[in-house]
Chain A
C-alpha cells in the first residue's frame, strides 16, 4: 500500500543553522509534492509545491528537492529562526487523483536561540 514517511522524532537545531527534513514515500508515483507548516492549534499552511519534472524549488529561505528515483523529498530551511519552530508536513498527490492530497505524519522542528 502507499506509504509516506517523515522523521517521527523532533528535530532540534540551533538558530542560524540549516534544518533539513525528509519525506520518503513507497508504492507511489506522485505528480507533485507539497510542503505545509502547522502550528499548534492551527490548520496547515501551504509553503511550497514541486512537480515531478522539477529537481529543486526555492522560496526565500526555503528549498525543496524532489528525487523520483530515490522516492524522496528534502525540505531545507536556511538561517533558521526560533519562529520557524513548528510541525512540517509533506503531502503527495496521487497521479490523476483530482488534487487529492495524502499527508505524512509530519516532523516537529524546534529551533533554539
Chain B
C-alpha cells in the first residue's frame, strides 16, 4: 500500500510569513494526526481528526495554527504568522482508527520547517 504522503519536504520562511503543509493519508484511514517534532524531542500532537471532524486540538496554538481535513481525506496545516520557535519537523500520520482503538500510526517523512 502507498504510504502517507507529505509535501513540501523542506520549507524556509522568514518570521511573520505564512506557510502551509499538505498531507495525503493512507487510503481508507479514518484518523489523521499532525505532530510537531522539535530537534531532540519526541513528536508532540497538534491535532487529531476522525474522518473530517476534530477529535483533539488541545495543543494547537490556535492564534496562529489552523488545520482542516476536507472530505475526510487530505489535510492541510497552516501557520500564520510564523515565529522562530515554530522551526521543527511537521509530521502527518494516519491510522485505521474506527473500530481499532489501538491501531498503529503510519507516519509520513515530514516537512522540515526553518523560520529565520
Contacts and interface: CB of A to CB of B under 8 A. Distances in A.
Do A and B pair up? The answer is: yes
A46 B103 CA distance: 10
B104 A89 contact: no
A10 to B, nearest CB: 12
A106 B102 CA distance: 20
A45 B107 contact: yes
A102 interface: yes
Q: Which among B44, B93, B104, B107 has the greatest number of chain A C-beta atoms within 10 A? A: B104
B25 interface: no
B45 A102 contact: yes
Contact of B109 (A36, A41, A51): A41
Interface residues of A, number: 27
A100 B102 contact: no
A34 B101 CA distance: 12
Contacts of A100: 45, 48, 55-56
The main secondary structure of chain A at its interface with chain B is strand
Contacts of A42: 109-110
A32 interface: yes
Contacts of A36: 105
Contacts of A97: 56
Interface in B24-48: 31, 35, 40-45, 48
B87 interface: no
B75 interface: no
B44 A98 contact: no
A23 B43 CA distance: 15
A99 interface: yes
A99 B106 contact: no
A45 B93 CA distance: 10
A66 to B, nearest CB: 13
